[in-house]
Amino acid sequence: MEVILKQDVAKLGYKDEIVKVKDGYANNFLLPKGFAIIATESARKMLAENLKQRAFKEDKIRKEATEMADKLNAMTGLKIATKAGENGKIYGSINTIQISDAIKNQFNLDVDRKKINIKGENIKELGSYKAAINVYKDIKAELSFDVVEE
């Protein structure tokens, strides 16, 4: 079944894309939750018209996303302070919320926590780590950060 996504769906596609999914996934998850609509002929025509009208706005958004990605790639010295034990083990773990807050506080950039992917396993020790940030559809940035003791 082909559906038109009404919003970004992780590991499936982005808003206004036509994707082919299994009938059960569409009928039991995407359609009831309002994430997608069935790609009928009239829905495709409406999508084409909307995309045509939105094309020039897309360029502006893409330029802003590229600038944001460049700033994130150039960012150095991001530190996340947390409480830690004697062996360098931290209490709890570092998550995307803390990374997003640290970027906001230290560099005054708003990054949605849902767009941050921490590479590897959970962060439970002091040290240096990397995170990938999906700034916009195909524009990604890589961020290095250090977890230090308070």
Q: Which residues pair with 84 in a beta bridge?
A: 90
Per-residue pLDDT of 31-50, as tens digits, reads: 999 999 999 999 999 999 98
For the sheet with 36-38, list strands across it. Answer: 18-20, 2-5, 36-38
* Superfamily (CATH) of domain 69-149: Ribosomal protein L9, C-terminal domain (3.10.430.100)
Is residue 21 pLDDT above 90, yes or no? yes
Give the alpha-carbon dihedral of 58, 15, 17, 3, to 10 degrees: -160
Residue 14 is encoded by which pair of tokens?
């982005």
Three-state DSSP state, 56: helix
Long-range contacts of range 23-29, CB-CB < 8 Å, 24 or more positions apart?
A: 26/1, 27/1
Q: Does residue 87 come out as left (phi exceeding 0), alpha (psi in the -120 to 50 range) or beta?
A: alpha
> 57 pLDDT band (50/70/90 cuts)?
confident
Contact 111, 65 (CB under 8 A): no
Residue 89 is encoded by which pair of tokens?
């083990």
Other C-beta atoms closer than 10 Å to the C-beta of 132 total: 13
| Domain map (residue ranges) of the chain | 2-61, 69-149
Phi and psi at residue 129, to the nearest 5°: -140, 170
Token pair 């773990």 in the structure block, residue: 93
Per-residue pLDDT of 96-105, as tens digits, reads: 999 999 999 9
CATH class label, 2-61? alpha beta
The pLDDT of residue 120: 75
Could you tell me the pTM of the whole model? Answer: 0.68
